Amino acid sequence: MKYSIAFMILAINSQPVIGLAENNPWAQPIWKSPPLPENPAAAFDKHDPYALAIGAKIKTDCSIRYIWNRDGRLYCFNSLTSKAFFLDNPAGYIRRAKQFMQDESNPGGSNETQQ
């Protein structure tokens, strides 16, 4: 019993082996993204790509972001939920977001004659 108490006192009073949390880059909160590179060009003019893919146009402040290694572009998100859905199928959501933005910029863009 006295060994376990001595071990607890030693464990509480000793310094951490890895180092202090403020010096550890991996000890940052999970909801924060790393700092942006100089003058990043955000895809979709800082609109949430998941929101665009489902038909909503939501502009973000780019505090929640992701750089997709496949195309190297920066994507900004409105919430962690939309980022999680996006990461499930980035190529599909990017394709649908591009289609939505194209449809928005060209309303009634089909070759049908309107009566």
pTM score, whole prediction = 0.62
87-97: b (≥16 Cβ within 10 Å) or e: eeebeebbebb
Provide the residue ranges of all domains of the chain, joining segments of one domain with +: 30-105
pLDDT, one tens digit per residue, over 56-75 is 999 999 889 998 888 889 99
Question: By the 8 A CB rule, do 98 and 91 touch?
Answer: no
What φ, ψ does residue 53 adopt, rounded to 5°?
-65, -30
pLDDT, one tens digit per residue, over 6-35 is 555 555 555 554 555 556 555 555 555 666
Question: By the 8 A CB rule, do 75 and 68 touch?
Answer: yes
